[in-house]
């Protein structure tokens, strides 16, 4: 239900940022101007469109989730009175969400509010990105620990580790070469060449550090599987950033404008702006919801607090078990989590992640710092703000991973053990 509320508000935000929708409403709704004046939204409802309207709506949604975050702090039992606030009253919550989003349009001194809220949104959006990157790094370490633990009972786990590592590095190498071919040219495209060289060098650096003797001495479970997975993600972010970069146009020998530093087949991808905007918005919603819901699991919450399962307690989740192990699993007791001692997930942390996701959506839909010229039709055609946000995310991911490797060398402590 919370996810449905979130999707509903995101759709409203995308509609508010669409020039096509605004023009269609103006042309096809009878007495459109009279309706706009009646609700005091301007002569052509200009107060209900654009980045300022999205800021207000997302302010209401962010406040909604932040209030529930405060109301659900320290809930340890799903049968408590406050737990019912989280798990029920859906109709009244929908009314509350609608009231808060609508009430944001009546905040006095709108200019000051928008300027201040913009910086709050930027901080919250970056925090949301950092949390997802932290969980990605934790996932890579946990995957390697899980499968390495299986090698103690079955040597086929070594083959699995080798195969996944080979695939990860093949994707990384192939992706970098592909981008070097299609996003660079012999003359020009110096920025793309530098970025590809830097990110490729960072992937190599991560691989070398992960298997260095000093790191392996402190962290026996460190290996190139983790660095391979992170390198894959770095490659994806690099591709995504280059795809989001505004096209460079130069004059050819005949005096005609020519787009460079992008694949030739990529120049025709944005002809149907409605299709691209709709598909891109759907993918954006799915990715954000997946990040929110997976970030609120107990294992993710523990990982963010530095609590990791000991390697000897890891259970390998792959079908390389002998007959005795399978029989023991079938005959073992079935435990049903009854939430007598604590809830399956933290309600407060759940709402806090949706609070950050609201800020992230607000900044993403309004093109981050290029908000004044933003609209949903041109959102997927390139923006310097989105380009640098993705590149910064790429470098932060590398720093976080290197931090998990280097930190134990400076300050050996169980909380850094991976």
State the DSSP string of 54-73: HHHHHHHHHHHHHHHHHHTT
Residue 52 CB coordination number (10 Å):
21
The DSSP output letter for 257 is: E
Q: Are 72 and 82 in contact (CB under 8 A)?
A: yes
**What's the Rg (C-alpha) of the chain?**
25
Mean pLDDT (the chain, rounded): 77
Which of 232-246, 289-303, 307-321 has the highest average model confidence (pLDDT)?
A: 232-246
Supply the pLDDT for residue 324: 47
Band of pLDDT at residue 329, cut at 50, 70 and 90: very low
With a CB cutoff of 8 Å and minimum separation 6, the contacts of 33 are 43, 44
For residue 309, give both structure tokens.
């399962």
Minimum mean pLDDT range among 78-82, 108-112, 123-127, 324-328:
324-328
8 Å CB contact between 313 and 35: no
Summarize pLDDT for 81-110 with one digit per residue, the tens. 888 888 888 899 999 999 999 888 888 877
**Token pair of 327, please?**
């029989």
Taking the CB of residue 386, how many other CB atoms lie within 10 A of it?
Answer: 23
DSSP string spanning 25-56? HHHHSTTHHHHHHHTTS-TT-GGGSSHHHHHH
> What is the reported pLDDT for 65?
93
* Cα 402 to Cα 404: distance, rounded to the nearest angstrom: 5
The answer to whether residues 334 and 99 touch, using CB atoms and an 8 Å cutoff, is no
Contacts of 232 (CB under 8 A, 6+ apart): 168, 171, 172, 175
Q: Please give the average per-residue pLDDT across 22-38, as a whole number.
A: 71
Examine the pLDDT at 243 and tell me if it is beyond 70.
Answer: yes
Q: pLDDT tens for residues 386-414?
A: 888 889 989 998 998 898 888 877 765 54
pLDDT at 267 over 70: no
What is the predicted pLDDT for the residue at 39?
Answer: 61
pLDDT, residue 381, reads 63
Q: Which phi and psi angles does 335 have, rounded to 5°?
A: -105, 125
Report yes or no: 6 and 359 within 8 Å, Cβ to Cβ. no
- Tell me the mean pLDDT in the region 162-184: 90
Whether residue 5 contacts residue 93, with contact meaning beta carbons closer than 8 Å, is answered with: yes
User: Residues for the chain: how many in total?
Assistant: 418
Residue 287 tokens read as 């990715």
Burial of 136 per CB tally in 10 Å (0-12, 13-18, 19+): middle
- Give the pLDDT score at 202: 93
Q: Which one, of 123, 391, 162, 380, lies nearest residue 274 by Cα?
A: 380
Residue 276 has pLDDT above 70, yes or no: no
Interhelix angle for 156-182 vs 110-150, to 10°? 140
Q: Can you tell me the distance from the alpha carbon of 331 to that of 325, in angstroms, rounded to the nearest whole number?
A: 10
% of the chain exceeding 90 in pLDDT: 16
Residue owning tokens 């691209």: 276
Higher pLDDT: 126 or 383? It is: 126
Q: Are 233 and 168 in contact (CB under 8 A)?
A: no
pLDDT of residue 270: 45
């Amino acid at each position: 239900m919370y996810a449905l509320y979130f999707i509903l508000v995101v759709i409203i935000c995308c509609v508010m940022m669409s020039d096509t929708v605004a023009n269609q409403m103006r042309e096809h709704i009878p007495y459109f101007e009279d309706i706009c004046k009646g609700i005091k939204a301007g002569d052509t409802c200009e107060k209900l469109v654009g980045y300022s309207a999205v800021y207000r709506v997302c302010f209401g949604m962010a406040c909604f989730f932040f209030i529930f975050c405060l109301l659900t702090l320290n809930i340890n039992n799903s049968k408590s009175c406050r737990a019912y606030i989280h798990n029920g009253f859906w109709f009244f919550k929908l009314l509350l969400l609608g009231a808060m989003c609508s009430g944001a349009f009546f905040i006095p001194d709108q200019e000051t509010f928008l300027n201040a809220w913009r910086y709050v949104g930027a901080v919250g959006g970056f925090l949301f990105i950092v949390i997802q990157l932290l969980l990605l790094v934790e996932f890579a370490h946990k995957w390697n620990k899980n499968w390495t633990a299986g090698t103690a009972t079955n040597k086929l786990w070594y083959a699995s580790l080798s195969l996944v590592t080979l695939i990860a590095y093949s994707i990384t190498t192939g992706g970098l070469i592909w981008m070097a071919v299609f996003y660079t040219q012999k003359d020009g495209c110096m920025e793309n060449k530098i970025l590809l060289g830097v990110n490729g060098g960072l992937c190599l650096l991560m691989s070398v550090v992960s298997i260095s003797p000093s790191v392996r001495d402190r962290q026996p479970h460190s290996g190139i599987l983790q660095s391979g997975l992170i390198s894959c993600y770095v490659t994806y972010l690099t591709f995504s950033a280059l795809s989001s970069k505004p096209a460079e146009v130069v004059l050819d020998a005949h005096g005609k404008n020519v787009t460079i530093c992008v694949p030739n087949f990529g120049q025709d991808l944005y002809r149907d702006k409605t299709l691209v905007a709709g598909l891109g918005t759907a993918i954006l919603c799915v990715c954000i919801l997946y990040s929110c819901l997976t970030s609120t699991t107990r294992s993710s919450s523990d990982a963010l607090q530095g609590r990791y399962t000991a390697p000897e307690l890891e259970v390998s989740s792959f079908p390389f078990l002998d007959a005795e192990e399978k029989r023991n699993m079938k005959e073992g007791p079935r435990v049903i989590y009854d939430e007598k001692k604590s809830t399956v997930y933290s309600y407060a942390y759940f709402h806090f992640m949706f609070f950050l996701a609201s800020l992230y959506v607000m900044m993403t839909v309004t093109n981050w710092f290029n908000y004044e010229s933003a609209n949903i039709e041109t959102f997927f055609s390139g923006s310097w703000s989105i380009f640098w946000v993705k590149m910064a995310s790429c470098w932060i991911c590398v720093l976080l991973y290197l931090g998990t490797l280097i930190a134990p060398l400076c300050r050996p402590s169980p909380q850094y053990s991976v």
